[in-house]
Structure 1
Amino acid sequence: MDPIKSCCAASREQAAQGEISKKEQAAISVKAAGSQVRDALVRIEGGVFRMGTNDPEGFPSDGEGPIREVRLDSFRISPYAVTNAEFRTFVDDTGYVTEAERFGWSYVFHLLASEETRERVKDVPQQVPWWLVVEGAYWAKPEGPDSTIEGRLDHPVVHISWNDAEAYCVWSGTRLPTEAEWEYAARGGLSGKTYPWGDLLKPDGKHRCNIWQGKFPVKNNASDGYVGTAPVDAYEPNGYGLYNVSGNVWEWCADWFSPGYHRQTRSENPRFTEETERRSMRGGSYLCHRSYCNRYRVAARSGNTPDSSTGNCGFRVAADIANM
């Protein structure tokens, strides 16, 4: 597959509008409410696995390979992406204001915005014109001021920057998973498979994830059941009990993003710590499609600036065993 520079997410650096100066994050202490988040994490026993891929279906320019053996300590990870309900609890408890709210806008996919919202849009990034710069879009108003999360409280929270995810982790006494932990957990005990369930995208003709169905980016026939996000427990879990690690929303990881990740990090508990201006994301989203961005494979990876937020980016949390 020919390399593609942009994935199905957009970055704040692509917007024509000027950025506001970054505000210092308010101090957030670990709250008792966060114990519910930690209690829900599943234990993943450490071990050695083959990480990455050499598959030509992938994107070598993303640094998906070469395949190598990686050893990880045991850790815990959430079976689900953080939901709207969970993030609302965090905001209610702390008064936290997300970066999308501070900037005053976030990216909304064009087919999800109302006609009224589309008419008010003044900026569209040239590289990814299906993303609209929507003023007033943020986690509680995911398609703009005339939208709501009511009826979607069990869906993954979106319009979350890496910095927002980190703030949630501080509050809940958790952390973001490393890329290696994410991939190890997403594989669910299988070795060398394309997806968390095997090599076939739709085994026995059954949808196993929420990705684009149709002609991207103009027609989504939603044969998998969803045009936008799906509930965090939609579809069957993988062998470790994790849901929606393929598709639905991109998930932030702890690492800085580097195309040389597999050649630059060690083989034991790897983590890329050198600042590159972009943080790693895993899993793909409801906008991924084989014709453009088949990054819903377990070895696929991408990155974005830590202040970027879109309507298809969320996160799940992890923790060290010693901290539980």
Structure 2
Amino acid sequence: MKNKTFWIFGVLTISIISLAYGYTKIIVPKKEIAVNAADCHELPSSNESEFKPTIENKFKPNSDKTPKGMVWIPGGEFSMGSNVEDESLCSIKGVTKDAAPIHRVYVDGYYMDQTEVTNEEFEKFVKATGYITVAEQKPTKEEFPTANEEDLITGSVIFTPTPSAVNLNDFLQWWRYEPGTDWRHPDGPQSTIKGKEKYPVVHVVYEDAAAYAKWAGKRLPTEAEWEFAARGGKTGNLYAWGNNLKPNGKFQANIYQGHFPIKDGDTGEDGFKGIAPTAQYAPNAYGLYDMAGNVWEWVNDWYSVDYYKSLAESGQTIKNPQGPAAYNDPNDPSQIKRVHRGGSFLCTDQYCTRYMVGTRGKGEYRSAANHLGFRCVKSK
């Protein structure tokens, strides 16, 4: 079973972990990275002069037309992207460059879910449709022709803390493929979602999220829509709530504090160790919860490392961008990837600070993990 698990992990889901970590693995020199938060002194900074003011649309629909659990996002013109060069407070240089350069974008108004889709919401969809997620489906020989039949087993990827401090260059040390893991069994085959109805659903791949959205009469947001909403009408902020990570000394999102990724390393200073129920922190200016941390969120766009560069080079304000026509990740060219946004409960100042509002994540479109979910939007 150990060999089977290792094989299936390596083939089926290794790219899901590359959403932020692959860059670190490639760019950082082969040496031990500090795992003590006290060793991290340099805060990320942003040159706000590169951001032009956000211009919101004036139209507002009647409030009685707002779908339950959603809020109106006015849309408009804004500066999209990030000019922060550091991956983390430990100043790993240059790895957020796929979120540059800053460029002007316009989006029409739309409705957006206030929270990430929860277990109870996803369960209603499954009961109504009989839908089976990708993690619950046995991989096929057509997908993996070189695999042995006994190696084709259902499951998903789970974060697994290490016994002690490790070199952060090798993310395989804290992730494992666990057979029998899926949205109903988020922490392994013996776990359940009982009592976790308000937690965000996880272990869903892109097509699972898109299927739910279609059933609900909604769709997945574009990357531009997601960022416009996360910024809340503000211009150039580092975070969905402002420029201070802890205003008045309080965390505003469920992220990781303490020694990453060791067992019991998360101190839970933000109120949670691991994943949290939705809406545990103040909403942003548009009334949206958890636009940073808790779980990464699928968006509709293909991932291309140089997409922002191509938009900026046009010299125009891009209207309702739908993402690139094809995926492009030179670091992993064989994998088909979609964009993730928002960061997760595993984002830490020592390793991955992609809860910063303009930064991006990525993942193989048929791979899932216990820190990845989604929310939906609806056109007016």
The runs of 5 or more residues in structure 2 that have no matched partner are: 1-5, 14-64, 88-93, 139-153, 163-169, 312-316, 328-335
Instruction: Name which of 321, 336, 346 aligns with 1:270.
Output: 321
What residue number does 1:292 align with? Answer: 351
Residue 47 of structure 1, CA deviation: 1.0
Q: Which moved more, 1:36-45 or 1:143-152?
A: 36-45
Query: How many residues matched?
Result: 283
The runs of 5 or more residues in structure 1 that have no matched partner are: 1-11, 20-35, 113-125
Instruction: Name which of 80, 97, 119 aligns with 1:51.
Output: 80
Q: Is the 8 A contact 2:66 2:111 kept in 1?
A: no
d(CA) in 2 for partners of 1:282 and 1:310? 14
What residue number does 2:302 align with? Answer: 256
What residue number does 1:240 align with? Answer: 286
Q: Is the 8 A contact 1:107 1:131 kept in 2?
A: yes
Q: Which moved more, 1:55-64 or 1:267-276?
A: 55-64
What residue number does 2:173 align with? Answer: 129
Cα separation, partners in 2 of 1:61 and 1:150, compared to 1, 3 Å: same
Greater radius of gyration (CA): 2
1:226 equivalent to 2:268? Answer: no
d(CA) in 2 for partners of 1:147 and 1:17? 25
d(CA) in 2 for partners of 1:210 and 1:127? 21
Cα separation, partners in 2 of 1:225 and 1:61, compared to 1, 3 Å: closer
1:89 equivalent to 2:118? Answer: no
Cα separation, partners in 2 of 1:270 and 1:68, compared to 1, 3 Å: same
What residue number does 2:157 align with? Answer: 107
TM-score by length of 1: 0.82
Deviations 1:118-158 (A, max 9, x none): xxxxxxxx643211110000001000111111111101000
Q: Which moved more, 1:59-68 or 1:215-224?
A: 59-68
d(CA) in 2 for partners of 1:228 and 1:60? 25
1:215 equivalent to 2:259? Answer: yes
What residue number does 2:99 align with? Answer: 64
- 3-state secondary structure, aligned to 2:173: coil
Deviations 1:139-180 (A, max 9, x none): 010001111111111010000101100110111111000011
- 3-state secondary structure, aligned to 1:184: helix
What residue number does 1:197 align with? Answer: 241
The alignment's C-alpha RMSD in Å is 2.4
Residue 273 of structure 1, CA deviation: 3.8
Deviations 1:54-86 (A, max 9, x none): 122345555111112211111111110000000
d(CA) in 2 for partners of 1:18 and 1:60? 25
Instruction: Name which of 65, 80, 84 aligns with 2:115.
Output: 80
TM-score by length of 2: 0.70
Deviations 1:174-198 (A, max 9, x none): 1000011000000111110000111
Residue 263 of structure 1, CA deviation: 2.2
1:305 equivalent to 2:346? Answer: no
Cα separation, partners in 2 of 1:239 and 1:61, compared to 1, 3 Å: closer
- 3-state secondary structure, aligned to 1:215: coil
Cα separation, partners in 2 of 1:62 and 1:105, compared to 1, 3 Å: farther
1:176 equivalent to 2:220? Answer: yes
Q: Is the 8 A contact 1:38 1:173 kept in 2?
A: no
d(CA) in 1 for partners of 2:218 and 2:324? 18
d(CA) in 2 for partners of 1:161 and 1:133? 15
Q: Is the 8 A contact 1:38 1:174 kept in 2?
A: no
Cα separation, partners in 2 of 1:281 and 1:18, compared to 1, 3 Å: closer
d(CA) in 2 for partners of 1:217 and 1:132? 13
Q: Is the 8 A contact 2:157 2:370 kept in 1?
A: yes
Identity %: 42
Structure 1 residue ranges, 4+ long, deviating more than 4 angstroms after superposition: 58-62
